[in-house]
Structure 1
Amino acid sequence: MALTVGYVSGIIALLIFVVRVFIPHATALIVVGLVRSTSPLTTWTVVSQELFASKWPALLRTDSQTRVGVSRGVRYGKWSRRIASYLVAIASIVTPMGLYDTIRPSFRHVERPFGYSPDTSAIGSGTPQRSNLGFNRICGAFTLAPCPGQDVVFRNDSGRVSYPNGYDASIPRNITEAFESGLATMAPTVSSIWDIEWRTYNVFHDEDGEVQNGEDYIVGRYRQLETLALNNDIEPVEGLIVDTKNGGIGFRNHTTPSPNEYGSSWSEDLLFIEPHTVCVDTNLTLDYELSYGLSGVEVSKLVLTDRGGFANLVKEYPTFDRDNSQDDIQLWDRAYKAAWLNNVLTMLYLNVTNPRDEDHERAFMYLDSHVGKTFPLDLRFLNTISYDSFLTTLTWGKYLDLNNLLSKNSSSNSTSDDSRYPNPFDITSTNFTTVSLLCKGAGAADFGNITNVGVVCGQVYGAARRMDDGPPLVFQPGSRWSTSLYSCASATRAVIKTVDFAYNGTDGLRSLQVKDVEDKKYDRDEDKPLWGVENTHMELQDARPLWGLVSEEYKGRDDISVIQKESLWLPGFFREQTASLNAGDNLPGAEFHTNMLGAAYRLDDLDPRIQGTADYTAASNLGMYAKWQEYSKSPNTTSKIINLIWTDLAANSVVGTRGWLSEPVSESNSRNAVEKRATTPTAGDMREVEVTDYNKVIRYRWAFGIPAFLSCFVVGLIAVQMLLLMCLGRATFRRLRLFLNQTSVGRLMGTFLYPGLVDPSATTRNWAPLAASKKVDVSGAVPRAADPVMMINRDKTTAAEDPLLYDQRMAQ
């Protein structure tokens, strides 16, 4: 139990209570030890007070504790006092324990100046300064093609395009204004597509002078700055909020308020782009043993095992609605279709079943498999299996010898494992290439528009799981392992999220905490953002569509499709054949999301030494491998691996440039987004922002107050009874003084041992001077007078014999 101020106060109160109990008991013993058995009457009154102020009468069970002959009212008063005393004693110890101090927000908002807060981490230090060369757009998959809005071109009779004034890669102002026009009705921190820039870039120029007339222009380049995938946190880095709990990045040029002693909090609306992945189990596994080989531990006895992917195949051809992708993107249906096609083509290759062709009226006329059946495979021409790696691939069926390399290079006496499979239906890698296209729903020749969402599909080889009883991270010869095969489909969506921040100002950007992130809530459908997607009227391979937040005026146009909803599935296209993390132009908002998905799905040939990425296969990171091994146990958690890899790649790929210090957008004053972000804000730039300051306050845990509440109740009850008796005239100070005097030990002994010495009803001021000198001996069985006793005739006493008694008589 951690000590708090309240607990310490309670402990102190307990010690004080112990001391307070100890003192009267100790002094009572001291008095008993020092008083003489023969002492004056007043001494015995004081001794009685000291003794009865302690608990010795109760501990020693003396006369004051008897119940015999004691009236009911006295017993009631005695127990009331005792109960109240006990409760107050307990309350004095327990009540302070409920006190604690905490930092809590104040009840009012204040405005504090916000200034740019640089990121001093590796990812911040490695982010170059922003360039003033602006965005550019180069269209055409194989040759330069005019982008939408570019009209300085020339076409001859044969349709050949030329650029007499050079290829203008700049983006027309009307296009840039369109895809940020919706910011005018948004919070000032919400970003547009023009607030997304490549984190690292190169400056190019066309040697032939065709592009931009030979002037410099920017192209995106990927450089890994830091690996965040395993952080399991929502953290700010230069230009971004990186969510490695759920996957996704938010765009924010970081500013923080002037420091407050206990910190401040506030909320912002930010643009997020987040990956969504759905994986489907093919119900096929690759099973093998490890053995010693020429290069150390190697895979051996590799088999493809039917876990129901063949035997329990649903024979109906799967479909999904690709024309309604913005309302329902159907990622599961896409991934399932890819898994189904992969399994069927594998079955045909292995001759497990038949297709529909001229010789067969229908497909699946036979099924030569059952759950648990294994199909031996050969590793000599395959590089997909790795016992210590997590792998993804864009090449479906890669575990098969689809190019018949074994049969072509084997003699007629070959005993190769794959020679057992005659491949009667001539299945090759070409057949498997259609799997990806049918999963994505759009190919290179489809037009760029709002329907053709940037979906990327791939096959996932999960991190191997040990099937015997050995340690799961020890790859020893003779151990048995299994790799699950999954089919996955991914897409990204843009969404406005509300982010709660807290800042205490002690360590720069590291002191900026993200307390919560959730999708922005809207009271009405009319309040939801308007998303626009460019209708390029060009093939996807030639031009990626632009997207962004648009205003009402862009509804119903031919060149822009507009929808009003919480989020937008981003359009785009990823070409497997020319996949690269680098870009040929400077338009990151339209490209990076699909480029990073493509990289996440091609770990089998994504060489970190060449591409400059982290090793997401985890072959060189056992900690990452352990995490991937855990996630690979099911398709639901396998999808999280893809999302985390995308998030890490995206965080290293792009940066957000919009924040509180950015130029505001209004309907009457739109920016030229291509030219405005020439410099990074500096520490001197400030803007007032409303925040909630935190203050230190004292709080109380009310459970600790129960004894105090009971004490108050009992004390209140006693007070009510006291006031009632006082009002009735039964409890008066005069009567109280009389009872005190009449029950005084010294006065009682003086009355009976020295009769007639003093009037028993005399006041203390009159009684004490006469009785103080008279001694009583209590050493015997009963008290007795220690001075000579003589009867005094009060009526005949003279002033000379006893002046005080004479005065009393005369006064009467």
Structure 2
Amino acid sequence: MVVTLSDLDVADVSGMIAAAVALIQIVIPLALPVILVSVLKEDRTKATTVSAVSWSVIGQFLHSSRWPTLLFADSASIRGVPGHIVLITRLKTILAFLTAIAAVITPLGLYQTIVEDDEWTENVSFHYIQDQSDFGRGTPPRVNLPWSRICGFSEPVECPNSFSNITKSSNATGDFYEVHSYDSHVPQYVIDVFQSGLQNMQGSVSSIFDIQSRSYIWNTASESPNGTVPDNGRPYPVDSFRMISSNILADDYLAVEGLVVDMKNGGIGFRNHSAPPRTPYGSTWSEDLLFIEPESVCVDTNLTLDFSLPRFASEKPRFSEIAHLVLTDRGGFANLDLPYPNYSTTNTQRNPQLWDRAYKGAWMNNALSMLFFNVTNLGDAKGPDSRPSTYVGRQFPLMSENGSISPSYPSSTHFNQLRVTVTYGDYLSGVGLKDNISLNFTFLNTTHFAGGGSLYENPFNISWHDMFNARILCVGNAGQNDANLDNFVAECGMVYGAPIRTDSNSSSIVFEPGSHWSIPMYSCIMTVKATIKKVTFKFNGTDDLSALKITEIKDKVYPDEKSKPLWGVERSDKKLVDVNPLWGLISSPDQGNISLYVLQQESLYLPGYPLGPFSSLGGYDNLPGSEFYSKGVSTIFGLSSALTLNGLDIPDYSGEISLALLRRWQRLSRTAGSTGKILNLIWTDLASNAVVGTRGLHGAIAQGSSSLESRDIMSASASNTPAVKFMQRRVRYHWPYAIPAFIVLFLTTVIAIVSLVITLIGRAGTSRIRRFLNKTSQGRILITYLYGRKGETAAQVRPESRVRTRSSTRRWVENMGKTPVTVAEGYNDFLIINGPQAAQAQPLLQENPMT
């Protein structure tokens, strides 16, 4: 890879400069001795004559360079030298080497970053920021859009706390209703109750009445589901659904018009987006937001659908693109616990027992399938300890060898996908499952009917109705249950994971001819809850929504029980099928004329019943905060029926079209624990297209300033805005780059401490060092050798006087240091030393001083 100047940062340049300096520090000490040696004159005998003091200076300069080490000179020798002297003298070289490395590496750890300035925190005014993405362009404006509420599924029903007037009468022929007036409006005092709890929250927290449908239409009396005439025939708004954009492949926190979307774990937070004033480096802050998030739990049935792909077109079965489709018992039959599972349906808000519900669905699916295959009779006299007449690994064919019986799953062309269905046991369709035959579940005793025309006789006449009851038993309630706190929105069904190749270790998404595949099956329950989360934002860049980033979403932590949210749910005598109760944050349990269920805890499982999916044709009213979450659940469990449902054109969430999505589903559907995340992410993607939040931290917006800005806005109090931390540029450091510098610093500190201690105890000092400097001065040694005591190195040193100590060098230079000394190289590397009138002088022309 070629590195250009544009790839370098400040740290890289600093390191390069330090490397250049280190190189200079190596080159110059090597080059200058070369120059010095070149100016020293030698005669024909290689003799050089300079003054004695010059020899001291030349020796110090040459031996303090790198040349003694490079040339293995005497001063760099370790032979015959005591170890402690070698260690101390070598430390200089080691430290020099480490210092050079540290000088180059240490600057590389420097970098500049933008960080929070803890000293610059302010409460500032927020302003609206526009979403210029597809979500912003696809969200229609609305101003003072009224709420509308219609209750009753198959008959007219007055909504709780409404001003409608309906009279019911009964006789032998049935029930009759007379609608005197039907008011779709939600009274203001009802709205006030479910917004009262916001006064105890940050101004950023929304209520149920801060949730609006992203798309809406206007309805008239003729569109009413039960023939009533709401509002005397005047048009009223109803929610609608239009898919704007899908973010199903995004593994991130997203900000879209009116929402914070958690595509990491699932969930949407309601916020009409605003931001503080722009600054050069941006700002950051945290807000409490109302979140509605799905919660899905799956249980492995320990059954798989296994199949292969034909090698040649001639091998394809008549009705299918796959061959040898079998149901494989991975322990779901052989290891089934025979005691009939139960769970409690009381106090479900604090203990929803979602795993127990999903397990009951899986148990019913497996038990009914075992009866269908006649591998056990769960109602015989063997008792609870009886074991099934099957084994792990047994396979049950779901198609004939010639393909004459069409399998229900996968369909002839839709085998390469993830599939979600509300129907348990639908893999038995076409191989003998009965239609509309009831099964007594008391002890799972059945009446025998003769089966025929199928792969299996189905001796216990297991029917679709029986399988549907498995769903009811998993959900725990039905439409005729009371609309109360314990009956929250839930849906159960089967999730068929993305196919996994079994004849290869690779997680392939290429369906090769002759390959073998396996599809895991899970029983899943899905519900939805409201909670408060703390969201951290960062704003920097352009003055629109693209500059707003969500850096963290986490559950709000409460110091004690009293500080937890107080949730209220509308109390009535209605059935789930007739009314979706209102819910929200309330200020106190006593709310005057409105009767409530009250609960104080971190979250609230939302009440209601999944009556149907989203529809682009429009709903029956405009109160999305009490309905959209259940519609999302219904839509997910109806995805397997068709991609277009009730006029609803939704993306392909199966992965059949998107290979990237199929690969993601392959990874997540390998285990029951991660399969629930698939449902959560699909729900989040649908919900982000269905609703929008209207509460923001900015003030009232001038009408007409912007079509997107002109929506119903619930503004927060200016004094209730969060503290904003503004960002500043700071220099930071990657500490691993400082390791060489730390080593040098450590060694330097140790050496400094040791030298200080030695000095304090009198083992060393300036006078002692001076003595050894004079003793090792080459010029003094030469003069002493040549002239005896006249040049003795220590003769004139007086350590008690600094001035005299200094003058001793001057006196020596004046007396003996200027004396010319000739040094030549003799036989066998011996030195020949000569000086004028010196008694110890050696003849320069001596052939061998040893003879």
- After TM superposition, the score normalised by the length of structure 2 is 0.78
Trace 1:195-274 onto structure 2 (pairs within 5 A).
Answer: 195-206=210-221, 210-274=229-293
* Distance apart, 1:447 and its partner CA: 1.9
Indicate the residue corresponding to 1:27 in structure 2.
Answer: 32
Indicate the residue corresponding to 1:782 in structure 2.
Answer: 832
- Residue type of the alignment partner of 1:101: Y
Residues 603-625 of structure 1: CA deviation (Å, up to 9, x unaligned): 21132484211111222112212
Q: Could you tell me how far apart the structure 1 residues matched to 2:161 and 2:651 are?
A: 38
* Distance apart, 1:269 and its partner CA: 1.4
Provide closer, same or farther for how the CA distance between residues 17 and 175 of structure 1 changes in structure 2, counting only shifts above 3 A: same
CA contact (8 A) 1:235 1:241 kept: yes
Residues 468-499 of structure 1: CA deviation (Å, up to 9, x unaligned): 34973233444333333322111111111122
Indicate the residue corresponding to 2:327 in structure 1.
Answer: 304
Q: Could you tell me how far apart the structure 2 residues matched to 1:255 and 1:489 are?
A: 36
Residues 115-163 of structure 1: CA deviation (Å, up to 9, x unaligned): 2222232233322223422321111213443211112425276685545
Trace 1:606-625 onto structure 2 (pairs within 5 A).
Answer: 606-608=642-644, 610-625=647-662
1:327 aligns to 2:332 (yes or no) = no
- Residue type of the alignment partner of 2:415: Y
- Residue type of the alignment partner of 2:495: V
Indicate the residue corresponding to 1:655 in structure 2.
Answer: 692
Which one of the candidate residues 561, 571, 586 is aligned to 1:550?
586
1:745 aligns to 2:779 (yes or no) = yes
Which one of the candidate residues 50, 53, 57 is aligned to 2:64?
53
CA contact (8 A) 2:564 2:600 kept: yes
* Distance apart, 1:219 and its partner CA: 1.8
Residues 193-215 of structure 1: CA deviation (Å, up to 9, x unaligned): 11211122223344699333444
Indicate the residue corresponding to 1:135 in structure 2.
Answer: 147
Q: Could you tell me how far apart the structure 2 residues matched to 1:60 and 1:362 are?
A: 96
Residues 568-624 of structure 1: CA deviation (Å, up to 9, x unaligned): 111110126x77575322111111111111111112113248421111122211221
* Distance apart, 1:183 and its partner CA: 0.9
SS at match of 2:687: helix
Indicate the residue corresponding to 1:280 in structure 2.
Answer: 299
1:533 aligns to 2:569 (yes or no) = yes
Residues 663-684 of structure 1: CA deviation (Å, up to 9, x unaligned): 89xxxxxxxxxxx9944699xx
Q: Could you tell me how far apart the structure 1 residues matched to 2:784 and 2:383 are?
A: 128
* Distance apart, 1:250 and its partner CA: 1.7
Identity of paired residues, percent?
A: 36
Indicate the residue corresponding to 1:803 in structure 2.
Answer: none
Q: Which moved more, 1:295-304 or 1:110-119?
A: 295-304
Q: Which moved more, 1:460-469 or 1:587-596?
A: 460-469
Which one of the candidate residues 374, 378, 381 is aligned to 2:396?
374
1:505 aligns to 2:541 (yes or no) = yes
Indicate the residue corresponding to 1:515 in structure 2.
Answer: 551
Q: Could you tell me how far apart the structure 1 residues matched to 2:357 and 2:776 are?
A: 102
Q: Could you tell me how far apart the structure 2 residues matched to 1:622 and 1:65 are?
A: 69
Q: Could you tell me how far apart the structure 2 residues matched to 1:249 and 1:538 are?
A: 29
Q: Could you tell me how far apart the structure 2 residues matched to 1:550 and 1:589 are?
A: 16
Provide closer, same or farther for how the CA distance between residues 252 and 747 of structure 1 changes in structure 2, counting only shifts above 3 A: same
1:571 aligns to 2:628 (yes or no) = no
* Distance apart, 1:771 and its partner CA: 8.0
Q: Could you tell me how far apart the structure 1 residues matched to 2:14 and 2:382 are?
A: 89
Indicate the residue corresponding to 1:804 in structure 2.
Answer: none
* Distance apart, 1:270 and its partner CA: 1.4
Provide closer, same or farther for how the CA distance between residues 29 and 481 of structure 1 changes in structure 2, counting only shifts above 3 A: closer
- Residue type of the alignment partner of 2:361: A
SS at match of 1:323: coil
- Residue type of the alignment partner of 1:713: V
Trace 1:795-810 onto structure 2 (pairs within 5 A).
Answer: none
* Distance apart, 1:275 and its partner CA: 1.2
Q: Which moved more, 1:228-237 or 1:550-559?
A: 550-559
CA contact (8 A) 1:197 1:588 kept: yes
* Distance apart, 1:435 and its partner CA: 2.3
Q: Which moved more, 1:508-517 or 1:395-404?
A: 395-404
- Residue type of the alignment partner of 2:236: Y
Q: Which moved more, 1:249-258 or 1:685-694?
A: 685-694
Q: Could you tell me how far apart the structure 1 residues matched to 2:762 and 2:278 are?
A: 62
Indicate the residue corresponding to 2:671 in structure 1.
Answer: 634
Structure 1, unpaired ranges of 5+: 409-415, 665-675, 791-812
Q: Could you tell me how far apart the structure 2 residues matched to 1:407 and 1:545 are?
A: 35
Q: Report the number of matched residues.
A: 759
Provide closer, same or farther for how the CA distance between residues 425 and 22 of structure 1 changes in structure 2, counting only shifts above 3 A: closer
* Distance apart, 1:639 and its partner CA: 1.7
Q: Which moved more, 1:531-540 or 1:114-123?
A: 114-123
Which one of the candidate residues 101, 106, 111 is aligned to 1:101?
111
CA contact (8 A) 2:190 2:594 kept: no
CA contact (8 A) 1:13 1:93 kept: no
1:588 aligns to 2:624 (yes or no) = yes
Indicate the residue corresponding to 1:167 in structure 2.
Answer: 182
Which one of the candidate residues 345, 352, 372 is aligned to 2:368?
345
Q: Could you tell me how far apart the structure 2 residues matched to 1:406 and 1:438 are?
A: 20
Residues 692-721 of structure 1: CA deviation (Å, up to 9, x unaligned): 233313446264413112213313432454
Q: Could you tell me how far apart the structure 2 residues matched to 1:680 and 1:407 are?
A: 53
* Distance apart, 1:565 and its partner CA: 0.8
* Distance apart, 1:182 and its partner CA: 0.9
* Distance apart, 1:343 and its partner CA: 2.9
SS at match of 1:715: helix
* Distance apart, 1:566 and its partner CA: 1.0
* Distance apart, 1:647 and its partner CA: 1.4
Provide closer, same or farther for how the CA distance between residues 432 and 548 of structure 1 changes in structure 2, counting only shifts above 3 A: same
SS at match of 1:141: coil
SS at match of 2:536: strand
CA contact (8 A) 1:84 1:714 kept: no
Provide closer, same or farther for how the CA distance between residues 592 and 155 of structure 1 changes in structure 2, counting only shifts above 3 A: same
Structure 2, unpaired ranges of 5+: 43-47, 437-450, 702-708, 797-806, 826-830, 840-851
Q: Could you tell me how far apart the structure 2 residues matched to 1:236 and 1:315 are?
A: 49
**What root-mean-square deviation, in Å, do the aligned CA atoms of Structure 1 and Structure 2 show?**
4.4
Provide closer, same or farther for how the CA distance between residues 347 and 21 of structure 1 changes in structure 2, counting only shifts above 3 A: closer
Q: Could you tell me how far apart the structure 2 residues matched to 1:393 and 1:653 are?
A: 22
Q: Could you tell me how far apart the structure 2 residues matched to 1:365 and 1:769 are?
A: 118
- Residue type of the alignment partner of 2:36: V
- Residue type of the alignment partner of 2:527: A
Indicate the residue corresponding to 1:694 in structure 2.
Answer: 727
Indicate the residue corresponding to 2:91 in structure 1.
Answer: 83
- Residue type of the alignment partner of 1:177: D
- Residue type of the alignment partner of 1:50: F
1:705 aligns to 2:742 (yes or no) = yes
CA contact (8 A) 1:376 1:418 kept: no
CA contact (8 A) 2:695 2:714 kept: no
Provide closer, same or farther for how the CA distance between residues 407 and 594 of structure 1 changes in structure 2, counting only shifts above 3 A: closer
Q: Could you tell me how far apart the structure 2 residues matched to 1:481 and 1:52 are?
A: 78
SS at match of 1:284: strand
Provide closer, same or farther for how the CA distance between residues 81 and 720 of structure 1 changes in structure 2, counting only shifts above 3 A: farther
Q: Could you tell me how far apart the structure 1 residues matched to 2:382 and 2:790 are?
A: 139
Provide closer, same or farther for how the CA distance between residues 157 and 629 of structure 1 changes in structure 2, counting only shifts above 3 A: closer
- After TM superposition, the score normalised by the length of structure 1 is 0.81
SS at match of 1:324: coil
